[in-house]
Amino acid sequence: MKKVISILVIALTFTVIGNAQETMKKDTMMKDDKIKVVSLEQTKGAFTQESITLAEGSYVFEISNNNVGHKVGFVLVPKGKDASKPENHIKTAYVTKAVENNTKGTSKTTNLAKGEYVYFCPLNPTPQYTLIVK
């Protein structure tokens, strides 16, 4: 009888330890998955940041309109896709509304996987710049 109780206690201990380790893993993953903000500034005809390198993860793009004189936007496209076709745009990266002169706007949360992307503003308009996710 003592042997059976000892085996049950050992099995229960391993189950509790295993559950605690799984909870710790989930907590760590949640901390790593925090949404980060990428702040970009537009001036007349240009972004001031000409390239960006990020880690894989979830991002919100914050776009500043620095005295452009009219509304600006933000478009993100996987490199190699035709940026002129809206179906290739990553729509969650669009600002939620066009950014008025001398204000800021943000996108929805955008999950970025490893790869290369280009970003630009069709309203300003700007050249295409490089965003690399490592």
Whole-angstrom Cα distance, residue 109 to residue 58?
6
Residues 8 and 55 in one domain: no
Residue 11 belongs to domain spanning: 1-32
Percent of the chain with pLDDT over 90: 75
Whether residue 99 contacts residue 121, with contact meaning beta carbons closer than 8 Å, is answered with no
pTM (whole model) above 0.85? no
Rounded to an integer, the average pLDDT of 1-9 is 49
pLDDT in tens, 31-68: 456 999 999 999 999 999 999 999 999 999 999 999 99
Whole-angstrom Cα distance, residue 25 to residue 4?
32
Residues 26 and 40 in one domain: no
DSSP 3-state of 29: helix
- Within its chain, how far is the Cα of 50 from the centroid? 18
In 1-134 the beta strands, taken as DSSP E runs, fall at: 36-43, 46-47, 51-54, 57-65, 75-78, 104-106, 110-112, 115-120, 129-133
**CA distances to 31, 104, 108, 111 from 67, in Å:** 37, 11, 24, 30
Residues 40 and 22 in one domain: no
The structural domain count of the chain equals 2
Whether residue 107 contacts residue 96, with contact meaning beta carbons closer than 8 Å, is answered with yes
Residues 28 and 48 in one domain: no
